[in-house]
Structure formats: C-alpha cells, structure tokens
Amino acid sequence: MEPAGHIISVSRRTDVPAHYAEWFLARVRQGFCEYVHPFSRKRFRVSLRPADVLGIVFWSRDYRPMLPHLAALLEQYVFYCHLTLTGHGPALEPNAMPLETAIAAARDVARLIGPEKLVWRFDPVVFTQSGSADDTLARMRHLAHELEGATRHCVISHMSPYRRQARAFAERGLTWDEPSPELRREVAARLAEVASQHGMTLSVCCNADVVGPGVSAASCVSAHRLRSLGALIPEGWPRGPSRASCGCDRSVDIGAYDTCPSGCAYCYANQDHARAAAYHRAHDASWPSLVPPAEGT
C-alpha cells in the first residue's frame, strides 16, 4: 500500500526561495501546485495542504526573500533548508551575493529556524585553473569558522560535469581539472576534519567513492531527518534516487529546469543561462507551475 501524504522538494531544479518565493507562497495559500515532468512533459497536480504534506526540503543559495515567512511556514509544515555557500567567486558564481553578506544571511536563517534545520552545502567542489585543492580547503576553513553554531551538518560533492557544464566552462574560459580518485578521497577526508573542528558532521552527495571515516553517504531528501524534526513519516519510506549513488528518499519536486537566473557555471539544471534569465523576468506568481518555454521560443 502506498503511504499517505508526500514530501515536497523545493527545488533541485531551480532556486525557488531566492527567485520564486512569491510564487511558492502563492501556491501555499492556494493549497496546491502543478509541476511538469522534465522528460515526458506531462503536467501533474500536488496538494500543498499541511494535512497532505509530510515534510518539505528547501534548497537555495539565498533565503533572504523567504526570511519574513519562515516562522509562519514552521507553524504549518515540518521542513529543513539546504543552503549552498561555497565562496567560489565570480568566475563560477557571477551573481552570488558578497561572501560576508551570505554568511550573515545564513546566520539569520539559523536564528529563525534553528541550526538543526539548516544544512550547509559546500557543494560542488570544483578544481579549475584558478582553484586548487588548497584553495578548496582554505575556503572551507573560513566558512566553517564563520558558520560554527549556525549548522550541524555539511554536505559536499565533487563536480561530475555534464555537457551543459562543459559548455558553460568553455564560454567563460574556465578549465576543469579532474581530480584523481586519491585526491578526491584526500580532500573529502580533510574537509571532514575541518567540519568536525567546528561542530559539524559531513556527508557526500552522489560520490560513493569518497565515503570513508568521517565522510558518510548523504541523503539530501531525508525522511529520517524530517522525522527527527517531528514529521509524521512512516518507517520504511520509499527511496527516490535521482542518479547513481543518490541517497535521497522519494519526494515531489515542484521546480523546473531552465528557470534559475543565478548563472552558476557548474549548474546542471540550465541548458541556456540566458533563456533561464529571460524566463525569470517574465514569470508571474499566479502561474500554477514553473514551466520553462519550449526551446527556441
């Protein structure tokens, strides 16, 4: 028998809290949302009524548009927030807020919802001609120090480039330096040491080859984590991996690819950053779903 209710993911396909907060809040008020399957293009409707939502997993690099609403959402839903903060710099993250502003914003989120509900994503780990393993470790040390007490868990992953990422790197004059398996494991282990020094555990997303002492396999959409926060999710909740080595549990993702205007070079969710930015400029909070225009429009 299928379990009643569902977990909502908001969203692995676009940054809803940063760019579509008004849209999401309108959908909550209306009590439902529509989403489109990224391959079949079929449209589905999912309830957002608190009675039907067992938990929500948010993903964002900027929760500031949601800050005034997080307390009210906590009264209706059990949720936790993934927060991406890497300090990569403008070559990889051209539209990221200044680092110190991002740190302050992260601490604001933690004060509102509590550190147990904030998961820091130092993700992805990317080696380029201007960013080495030493650079990665230096950024981790700085950020872990600044975020100590604001979060208790960090997630990392090494970038595994798709064609769209390779194209974005080439357009920006970037070269991806593929780390050896030994270097991947060494870097993960050293990042785990840094995290531990600042009161954080560390897990790795979709990189089973670097799991080891101090480095667990991540379940980014986690029924267990939601249950620990008070969600009434039955034991034995189905798994829902999105790719090889993914440890996520089953959820309904209400985002859409090719709609995030952040423009990060390593983004796997946009085929065309200009097209995604154009979609964002045209979006309307009254739309029941986020659906990018057909290619070529």
186: helix, strand or coil? helix
Residue 294 pLDDT exceeds 70: no
Residue 293 lies in a domain: no
Q: From CA 136, how far away is CA 142, in angstroms rounded?
A: 10
Note the pLDDT tens digit of each residue in 130-149. Answer: 678 999 999 999 999 999 99
Mean per-residue pLDDT for 49-71? Answer: 98
Mean per-residue pLDDT for 171-196? Answer: 93
Q: From CA 92, how far away is CA 115, in angstroms rounded?
A: 28
Mean per-residue pLDDT for 266-270? Answer: 92
Residue 3 pLDDT exceeds 80: no
134: helix, strand or coil? helix
Residue 168 lies in a domain: yes
- State pTM to two decimals: 0.95
pLDDT of residue 177: 86
Fill in the amino acid letter for 123: D
Residue 2 lies in a domain: no
Q: From CA 144, how far away is CA 231, in angstroms rounded?
A: 28
192: helix, strand or coil? helix
Residue 289 lies in a domain: no
Residue 5 pLDDT exceeds 80: yes
Place of tokens 């070559």: 91
pLDDT band at 128 (very low <50, low <70, confident <90, very high): confident
pLDDT of residue 129: 63
Residue 79 pLDDT exceeds 90: yes
Token pair of 198 as six digits: 């600042």
Residue 291 lies in a domain: no
Token pair of 220 as six digits: 């980014």
Which residues, listed in sequence order, are joined to residue 201 by a DSSP beta bridge? Answer: 153
Task: Find all residues with CB under 8 Å of 182, minimum gap 6, and list them.
Answer: none
Mean per-residue pLDDT for 84-106? Answer: 96
251 close to 279: Cβ distance less than 8 angstroms: no
Q: From CA 93, how far away is CA 123, in angstroms rounded?
A: 12
Residue 110 lies in a domain: yes
191: helix, strand or coil? helix
Residue 119 lies in a domain: yes
Dihedrals phi, psi of 237, to nearest 5 degrees: -55, 140
242 close to 220: Cβ distance less than 8 angstroms: no
Dihedrals phi, psi of 169, to nearest 5 degrees: -65, -45
pLDDT band at 297 (very low <50, low <70, confident <90, very high): very low
Residue 17 lies in a domain: yes
**Cβ count within 10 A of residue 217:** 15
Out of 25-34, 100-109, 155-164, 287-296, least confident range: 287-296
Mean per-residue pLDDT for 260-274? Answer: 92
pLDDT band at 175 (very low <50, low <70, confident <90, very high): confident
Domain count for the chain:
1
Output helix, strand, coil percentages for the chain, rounded to the nearest 5. 35, 20, 45
More confident residue, 169 or 74: 74
pLDDT of residue 47: 98
Task: Find all residues with CB under 8 Å of 282, minimum gap 6, and list them.
Answer: none
Domain with 83, as residue range(s), is: 9-282
Residue 164 pLDDT exceeds 90: no
